[in-house]
Structure 1
Amino acid sequence: MVVKARVQPSLPPGPRGHWLRGNAPHYEADRIGFLQRNVRDYGDVFSFNENTTVVNDPALVHEILGRTNTDFLAEDAMFAGAGDPEATAAEAASWMAARRKGWRGFNRTVATAHAGRMMRLLDDLTDGTGGRRVDVLDLMARASGCMVADYCFGADGSGIVATIEANVAAALPIMSSGRLLPRWLPAARNRRFLAARRATAALIDDLIARRRSRPVPEAPRDLLDVLLAAREPELSHEQVRDVLRVTLVASYGVPGAAIAWAVRELVIQQDVRRRVKEEACAWEGRDDPPEITELPYTQAVVKELLRAYTPTWLMGRTARREVQVGSWSLPPGHQIMFSPYLIHRDPRWWPEPDRVDPGRWLGTESPHARHTYLPFGAGPRVCLGTQLGMLQLTLAISRLVRRYRFDVADPANRPASPSALLKPEGLRARFVPREAEDRLR
């Protein structure tokens, strides 16, 4: 007989914090350290404040992710004040219907065409640095923005990258802040964010309208073609726009942060860099980029970097109704936060978690305990760009190592900065094409 845990009406224990500002000052001073200390002091479920519970138990996190769209809502709150949970749930259902169509956009034909264009975009941006020392995160974020715009719109997407950059730049201060403001408050950050979101939506509307005015292609060439070709049922304009907008914004910074971590780690670990290069050079001379299955070691490097330096280091869900999480009953509107970074670095689930070792992914056995690897989330709202992200990261890292010599000043002392994304602080590098260097010898 299964005995259910007793539901407790009060919130789990947690740090009391300042009488007025609560735990915000301690959290803002050291976000990861604050969470780690409280897991140690209070266990895998603790209260951050009266409205937020932090969960660090992998089984509970997996359960919460699996109950998304029913008991929990995934939408990130950008403003203070509870919205209508049922209206949000209805919007989520519409989004999920469009999202399922979007999954079909990742087929071999579209992926192969995108991969070739992606390599040219990466070359153009990296060559454009002229061998000067540049901020790696800025360069790779721009590259990932160009890549996802190409995947969504093909050649039509080049003009939208600057708009997406402005959208992300306007959202970051809100996402990084420990305090949300009401939507109606005419604060500068609210005005910037709402204006940027309107500009993004307007530009996507224009691209959709232009594509609809052209003859339908024989086969889809990009995600927009796939969404417009959807039938039974046909997607509404709003559904198409929402899938494109979320894909563009969500895929702008995450791959860039992951590639920046790769550059840092490949400078530190020269043996790893050598093996990536050897694997990449084996496919030199082919007209089409290799499949990622043909780059097993580089793919293992990507998986390990997404474990050790998870860009989306903090995720959250909102209780749609009164819900039970473990032995605790949480009210509607309650926020549940969890950190893939903490789970990925927990020695209970991973051997030598602080060691960056791609080899852990090359064996026949799983390198981790169940439910303890979630760089893309899990459940019905698992990241739409999982396959696209693995393709872009694997091919981009392989290309950088094969085509460029790069160095980083003092790479080991570039700390992780956990704001909206986990990123290496102050990482600067030079990228010199190997062909240009060889000609100078």
Structure 2
Amino acid sequence: MTEHLPPGPRGHRLRGNLPRYEADRLGFLRRCQEEYGDFCSFDGNTVVVSDPATVHEILGKTNAEYLAEGTLFAGGDDLDEAAERAAVWMAARRKGSRGFNRRVATAHAERMIGMLDEQLGRAGSQTVDVQPLMARVSGCMVADYCFSGEGSELVETIEAQVAAAIPIMSAARVLPRWMPAARNRRFAAARRRTMAAIGGIVDRRRARPAPESPRDLLDVLLAARDPELTQHQIEEVLRVTLLASYGVPGTTLAWIVRELSFRPDIQARVQDEATAWDGRETPPELAELPYTEALVKEILRAYTPTWLMGRTVREEVRVGSWTLAPGRQIMFCPYLIHRDPRWWDEPEKIDPGRWLGEKAPHARHAYFPFGAGPRTCLGTHLGMLQLTLVTSWLARRYAIAVETPGTVPASPAALLSPAGLRASFAVREHEDAGFVSAGGR
């Protein structure tokens, strides 16, 4: 078949659409959709898709007709080699998914509230930048989930890796890996340190007797049989889990902090529900916090941290009415789909209650904050557990004061974050009774 691309804005003769995109990323993509419809060519190699059914089909055919093996650098990868890497990764991923089980998650939940209290306790009564604080909280939590007590030594290493990746992920123009740019060198050095640190923990754990039952994700990976996972597979599952679970939950928590301060009605309902913590030695189940969980789902809809996703065409495909050749890039913007009035009622309104009815509050396939298909986020359940329990505990234990929450803009860089959000967290006086976290004992 002859390749047939959808129409799109022509842009500047040399720089294409980059100047207008960089000036207002979300606005530019929204205008393209309004003018050209749900299929639009961003440039000569990239097509933007905004139709939920088509996005769902693309995500579902990942690892076959499409690849999720994107690269941070220009020059691309050989598609067959990328497919082979994807097959190796999926084999390890299936083993790793067993680590996201109820027993390990429950043990982790009992520890993570203490981590939250410890980090907020360090901030004291000062007004601090919320985004990096909540990123540190989520980083401590995922390191604990992966490595139990050994994970604390990795938090700063992961922070450095993420900090080195953000300038590359946020840039509209991608540089080749070989180019000796400062950001490329920083990223390569940070990745080497991350892999060395993960490898060191794995080696030490291998040298000890296996526990009777898994305590964390690493125990699960080491216990895998038929076949056993290689050292490389184990390290890759851990690296991807650590990096993916660092930024997204932290960004979501930052938006939740903003919303709790901006909307007293929402905060009051979350606080009322947080009485589920009273008189307990362990955190409540998610079923006991339905409104809080609904708030998390709503924030993930309205302020989707992973606001832009993509796939690479592996073999010639039909996308809508268009034919795309191997190597083409397909992008889709969950933020815009999650706010499209064709698929949602009053999409610009923040309403947790929309999730409490018997029917889904959206058109089919129009909600995918964790992706979909075979490459859906490995830690979806873990993420919802962490976000819901932390949100409930924040509302119950802390008086949150945000500086001008109504003027906080959404900044679409590597993640969609609340730019410049600052707040203080003071422990409420009545918190001497009831559940006390490990960090507060």
TM-score (norm 1): 0.97
Cα deviation 1:210-244 (Å, max 9, x = unaligned): 00011110000000000000111111111000000
Cα deviation, residue 10, structure 1? 2.6
Match of 1:335 among 329, 345, 356: 329
**1:225 matched residue in structure 2:** 219
- Gap regions ≥5 residues in structure 1: 1-6
**2:228 matched residue in structure 1:** 234
Q: How does 1:120-131 map to 2 (within 5 A)?
A: 120-131=114-125
**2:438 matched residue in structure 1:** none
**1:153 matched residue in structure 2:** 147
Cα deviation, residue 326, structure 1? 1.1
Match of 1:98 among 92, 96, 115: 92
Cα deviation 1:374-419 (Å, max 9, x = unaligned): 0000000001110110000000100111010011111010000000
Distance across 2 between alignment mates of 1:108 and 1:182: 43
Give yes or no for the alignment of 1:358 onto 2:355. no
SS of match in other structure, 2:123: coil
**1:323 matched residue in structure 2:** 317
Give yes or no for the alignment of 1:28 onto 2:16. no
Give yes or no for the alignment of 1:177 onto 2:171. yes
**1:61 matched residue in structure 2:** 55
Two-structure CA RMSD over aligned residues (Å): 1.3
- Gap regions ≥5 residues in structure 2: 434-441
* 8 Å Cα contact 1:280/1:402 also seen in 2: yes
Cα deviation, residue 282, structure 1? 2.9
**1:349 matched residue in structure 2:** 343
Which range is displaced more, 287-296 or 158-167?
Answer: 287-296
Give, as a single letter, the amino acid of the residue that structure 2 aligns with 1:195.
A
**1:4 matched residue in structure 2:** none
Match of 2:105 among 111, 114, 120: 111
SS of match in other structure, 1:233: coil
Distance across 2 between alignment mates of 1:280 and 1:396: 11
Distance across 2 between alignment mates of 1:49 and 1:371: 26
Give, as a single letter, the amino acid of the residue that structure 1 aligns with 2:268.
R
* 8 Å Cα contact 2:55/2:332 also seen in 1: yes
Match of 1:374 among 368, 383, 402: 368
Cα deviation, residue 438, structure 1? 8.9
Distance across 1 between alignment mates of 2:168 and 2:13: 24
**1:41 matched residue in structure 2:** 35
Cα deviation, residue 281, structure 1? 1.6
* 8 Å Cα contact 2:100/2:379 also seen in 1: no
Give, as a single letter, the amino acid of the residue that structure 1 aligns with 2:208.
R
* 8 Å Cα contact 1:8/1:328 also seen in 2: no
Distance across 2 between alignment mates of 1:438 and 1:355: 36
**1:417 matched residue in structure 2:** 411
* 8 Å Cα contact 1:60/1:325 also seen in 2: yes
Cα deviation, residue 279, structure 1? 0.8
Cα deviation, residue 82, structure 1? 2.4
Cα deviation, residue 102, structure 1? 1.1
**2:4 matched residue in structure 1:** 10
Which range is displaced more, 139-148 or 277-286?
Answer: 277-286
**2:436 matched residue in structure 1:** none
Distance across 2 between alignment mates of 1:87 and 1:9: 24
SS of match in other structure, 1:131: coil
Give, as a single letter, the amino acid of the residue that structure 2 aligns with 1:390.
M
Which range is displaced more, 91-100 or 274-283?
Answer: 274-283
Give, as a single letter, the amino acid of the residue that structure 2 aligns with 1:373.
Y
| Sequence identity percentage | 66
Give, as a single letter, the amino acid of the residue that structure 2 aligns with 1:346.
D
* 8 Å Cα contact 1:309/1:422 also seen in 2: yes
